[in-house]
Amino acid sequence: MIATFAFYVFAAILIASAVMVVTSRNPVHSVLFLILAFFNAAALFLIAGAEFLAMILVIVYVGAVAVLFLFVVMMLDIDFAQLREGFQRYAPIGAIIGGILLLELFMVLATWRFAPEAAALRMNPNPPGVTNAEALGRILYTDNIFLFQGAGLILLVAMIGAIVLTLRDRPGTRRQDIAAQVSRAGSVSVRSVPQGAGLKEIGILRPPSPEEEKPKQVEHHHGGGHH
C-alpha cells in the first residue's frame, strides 16, 4: 500500500515537473525542473526494485550531465521576449509534430507484445540470490562483452572526434612548464633552514635572561581564523 502511494506521488511530481520544464519562462528554472524530473524517475526505479539504475541515473544525469547543462544555460544570454516572439507562428507546426508523435506512441503501445521468455522474466528480473548490480554486470560484462566493448569504442571515436574538432593550437601562447620550473636553479629553490630559528627570533622559545635586552613585543591577532 505504501509502495503504491509512493508510486503515485513520485509519478505525479514527475509529470508536473516535466510540464514545468516546457512551460516555465526562465530556462534556468526549466533545467532545475528537469533535474527534479530525473530525481523522481530515479525514485520510480527504486520502487520497481532497480536500485542500481536509480543510483546511476542520479550520478550520471543529475550529478554530471545536468550540471554542465545548467552551466551552459546560465551563461547563455537569452532574450526572453525574442524567444517567445514566434510562438503563434510556429504553434500549428509544433502541434502537428506533437500529434504525430502521440499517435505513434499509441500505435506502439497497442501492438506491443512481450516475447514469451521475456514475459516470464518480467515478473522476476533478478536471478534468485543475486543483487541487482551483479545481475546487470553479468549481462553486460560476461554475456554480452563484445557488444558492450563495441559501444565503448563508438563512444571513444565520438570523444576523439569532439576533441579534434575543438582543439586549436594557437601559436604564441605561453604555457606553464612545471617540470622546467621545478628543475630551474636560482630564483625558485628549496632550502633547508635550521629548525625553530624563527621562533627564537620572536622570543617565544628563548628563556628570559636578565643580561639580554628584552625581546621585542610582537603583536598577536587572536581569533578570526575562519571565513
Partner 1 sequence: MDFFFQNPIGIVILTVVKALALLVPLLVGVAYLTYAERKVLAAMQLRKGPNVVGPLGLFQPFADAIKMLMKETIVPTGASRVLFLLAPMLTFMLAMLAWAVIPVNDGWAIADINVGILYLFAISSLGVYGVIIAGWASNSKYAFLGALRSAAQMVSYEVSMGFVIVTVLLCVGSLNLTEIVRAQQTVWFVIPLFPMAVIFFISTLAETNRAPFDLPEGESELVAGFFVEYSSMSFALFFLGEYANMILMSALTTILFLGGWLPPIDIAPFNWVPGPVWFVLKICFCLFVFLWVRATFPRYRYDQLMRLGWKVFLPFSLVWLVLTATVLKLTGWLPA
Asked if 76 is part of the footprint of partner 1 (rule: CB under 8 A), the reply reads: no
Closer residue to partner 1, CB minimum distance, 18 or 132: 132
Minimal distance, residue 113 CB to partner 1, in Å: 32
Among positions 112-171, residues that touch partner 1 (CB under 8 A) are 131-133
Among positions 41-60, residues that touch partner 1 (CB under 8 A) are 51-52, 55-56, 58-59
Among positions 82-111, residues that touch partner 1 (CB under 8 A) are none
Question: Closest Cα to residue 45, out of 61, 33, 21, 29?
Answer: 61
Asked if 63 is part of the footprint of partner 1 (rule: CB under 8 A), the reply reads: yes
> Which stretch in 68-76, 85-93, 114-122, 149-157 sits in contact with partner 1 by CB under 8 A?
68-76
Minimal distance, residue 202 CB to partner 1, in Å: 8
List 9, 16, 71, 154, residue binding partner 1 (CB under 8 A): 71
List 19, 120, 140, 204, residue binding partner 1 (CB under 8 A): 204
Question: Closest Cα to residue 94, out of 82, 83, 86, 105?
Answer: 86
In this structure, are residues 31 and 22 in contact, taking their beta carbons and an 8 Å threshold? no
> Which stretch in 15-23, 64-72, 90-98, 153-161 sits in contact with partner 1 by CB under 8 A?
64-72
Show Cβ contacts of residue 42 under 8 Å, excluding neighbours closer than 6 positions: 54, 55, 57, 58, 62
List 89, 113, 214, 222, residue binding partner 1 (CB under 8 A): 222
144 vs 132: CA distance, rounded Å: 17
Longest CA span, the chain: 104
Show Cβ contacts of residue 46 under 8 Å, excluding neighbours closer than 6 positions: 54
Give how far Cα 158 sits from Cα of 66, 85, 155, Å.
20, 36, 5
Q: What is the total residue count of the chain?
A: 227
Provide the total of helices (H) and of strands (E) in the chain, helices listed first: 11, 0
Residues found near partner 1 in the complex (CB under 8 A):
2, 28, 32, 35, 51-52, 55-56, 58-59, 62-64, 67-68, 70-71, 74-75, 131-133, 176, 199, 202, 204, 220-223, 225-227
